[in-house]
């Protein structure tokens, strides 16, 4: 029969073994995105898959699913792995709120006060408070899901509602969180989105470019600056390891992006109209969809461009790759961006880029080396750059394409960037897991 000392020693050994097993177990990471998966979130899918490939367990949570059709088979597969909070419905949200309030009243009151404060700070007055009370309910649902999956860390993408829900869940007693700020939406309303408070509550915050880091620091107290780190969006072997394909002689251009105001696409159609008026032959394909589709169709008709400009809608990764390879260059005349993944993809495939002097784009596109940069909103500047692409010798474009592919490989390899993020998450863990 064991005496008291032997029993205590046995317990101590058991506890030590348990702590060691917990410390050495793979990290359990939850990704949280406001809308997922979707055609514009392939970079998140790549990042989560690479984190998983490095040994972590990754759960995918979204507040709501993408409402449109998923053209890419990989997005369709990702959709099957993802749980959507709002699918629990209003009764599920209310049950989670009530259960959390009853089981941890102190934490609930603190989170409730924070939700109300953040809601009042945002635009919309009373509607802002209502939105944040919904975020609190979503956080309560996630609290239960994190308990089920024993989540060690949450990484949210975007500093908008997903980061707000991660913050509120943390206040309720959930796991520590980090988040990636992409821009431009977060920097359009940094005070209303309480970016500084979200950074303060986080283990760390990520931006996708040096420009993004500078903007986030503007709205974050100086003592929080060390938390802000750069982790680029990354590409996988479909783009980085693609064999070189000669630049076509055919005068084809492609644009990939959401059909929304910030992409500056009406300027692109006007520039295309000028090219036609000058007698320059070209074909232009716009890949994507969005709220400006009707207006763009009208502009195309007004400039008599129906035989020159095609709206292709969303396409799979493989189709986007082929459209880029069949073109001389990618054109993206954005007014506001973070750092567009489409630019990375085109450069990785050996195609130069026509972009604008905004946000993180100049960190990647170097004029005369791997592309052109024009003032945002300048029809004349954009038309000139497109003309130069169309009139350039394919060998010169291939030289620029090789320079672009090398730069992207150095800065946007998903294996390298995901390792950076994974290391940041691991370093942020408690001593028991460090």
Structure tokens at 139: 């956080």
Q: 260, 248, 270: which is closest to 329 by C-alpha? A: 248
Domains of the chain (ranges, CATH numbers): 20-234+414-428 (3.40.50.2000), 237-411 (3.40.50.2000)
Distance CA 38, CA 69 (A): 8
CB 236 within 8 A of CB 416: no
pLDDT tens sequence for the chain (434 residues): 545 555 455 556 555 544 554 556 799 999 999 999 998 899 999 999 999 999 999 999 999 999 988 888 999 999 999 999 999 999 999 999 999 999 999 999 999 999 999 999 876 556 899 999 999 999 999 999 999 999 999 999 999 999 999 999 999 999 999 999 999 999 999 999 999 999 999 999 999 999 999 999 999 999 999 999 999 999 998 899 999 999 999 999 999 999 999 999 999 999 999 999 999 999 999 999 999 999 999 999 999 999 999 999 999 888 999 999 999 999 999 999 999 999 999 999 999 999 999 999 999 999 999 999 999 999 999 999 999 999 999 999 999 999 999 999 999 999 999 999 999 999 999 665 54
Q: 177, 112, 362, 384: which is closest to 275 by C-alpha? A: 384
CB 417 within 8 A of CB 229: no
Tokens 């931006």 belong to which residue? 207
Distance CA 34, CA 37 (A): 10
Count of helices and strands (H, E) across the chain: 18, 13
Distance CA 152, CA 357 (A): 40
Tell me the three state secondary structure of residue 367.
strand
For the chain, percent helix, then strand, then coil, each to nearest 5?
55, 15, 30
**Residue 246 DSSP symbol:** P
Task: Read off the pTM.
Answer: 0.89
**Could you give the strand order of the β-sheet that contains 353-356, starting from the edge strand earlier in sequence?**
309-313, 283-287, 252-256, 329-331, 353-356, 371-374
CA 350 to chain centre: 23
What is the sign of the dihedral through the CA atoms of 266, 272, 273 and 275? positive
Q: Which H helix or E strand runs over 416?
A: helix 414-428
**Residue 347 DSSP symbol:** H
HSE (CB half, 13 Å, CA atoms) of 241? 5
């Amino acid at each position: 029969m064991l005496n008291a000392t032997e029993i205590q020693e046995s317990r101590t050994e058991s506890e030590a073994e348990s702590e060691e097993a917990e410390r050495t177990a793979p990290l359990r990471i939850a990704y949280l995105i406001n809308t997922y998966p979707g055609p514009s979130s392939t970079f998140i899918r790549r990042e989560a898959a690479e984190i998983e490939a490095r040994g972590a367990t990754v759960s995918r949570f979204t507040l709501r699913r993408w409402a449109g059709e998923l053209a890419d088979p990989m997005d369709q597969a990702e959709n099957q792995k993802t749980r959507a909070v709002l699918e629990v419905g209003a009764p599920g949200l209310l049950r989670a709120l009530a259960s959390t309030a009853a089981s941890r009243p102190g934490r609930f009151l603190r989170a409730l006060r924070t939700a109300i404060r953040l809601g009042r700070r945002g635009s919309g007055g009373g509607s802002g408070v209502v939105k944040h009370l919904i975020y609190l309910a979503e956080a309560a649902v996630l609290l239960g899901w994190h308990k089920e999956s024993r989540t060690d860390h949450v990484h949210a993408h975007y500093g908008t509602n997903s980061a707000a829900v991660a913050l509120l869940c943390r206040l309720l007693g959930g796991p520590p969180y980090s988040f990636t700020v992409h821009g431009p939406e977060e920097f359009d309303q940094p005070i209303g989105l309480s970016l500084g408070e979200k950074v303060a509550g986080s283990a760390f915050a990520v931006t996708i470019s040096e420009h993004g880091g500078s903007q986030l620091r503007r709205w974050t107290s100086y003592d929080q600056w060390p938390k802000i780190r750069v982790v680029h969006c990354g590409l996988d072997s479909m783009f980085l390891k693609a064999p070189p394909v000669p630049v076509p002689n055919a005068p084809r251009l492609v644009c990939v992006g959401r059909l929304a105001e910030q992409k500056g696409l009406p300027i692109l159609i006007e520039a295309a109209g000028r090219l036609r008026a000058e007698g320059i032959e070209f074909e232009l394909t716009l890949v994507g969809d969005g709220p400006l589709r009707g207006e763009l169709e009208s502009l195309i008709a007004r400039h008599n461009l129906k035989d020159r400009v095609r709206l292709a809608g969303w396409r799979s990764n493989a189709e986007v790759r082929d459209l880029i390879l069949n073109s001389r260059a990618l054109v993206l005349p954005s007014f506001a961006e973070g750092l567009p993944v489409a630019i990375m993809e085109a450069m990785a495939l050996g195609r130069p880029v026509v972009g604008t002097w905004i946000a993180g784009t100049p960190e990647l596109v170097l004029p005369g080396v791997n592309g052109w940069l024009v003032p945002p909103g300048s029809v004349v500047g954009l038309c000139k750059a497109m003309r130069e692409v169309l009139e350039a010798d394919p060998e010169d474009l291939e030289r620029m394409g090789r320079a672009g592919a090398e730069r992207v490989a150095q800065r946007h390899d998903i294996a390298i960037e995901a390792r950076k993020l994974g290391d940041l998450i691991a370093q942020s863990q408690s001593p028991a897991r460090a």
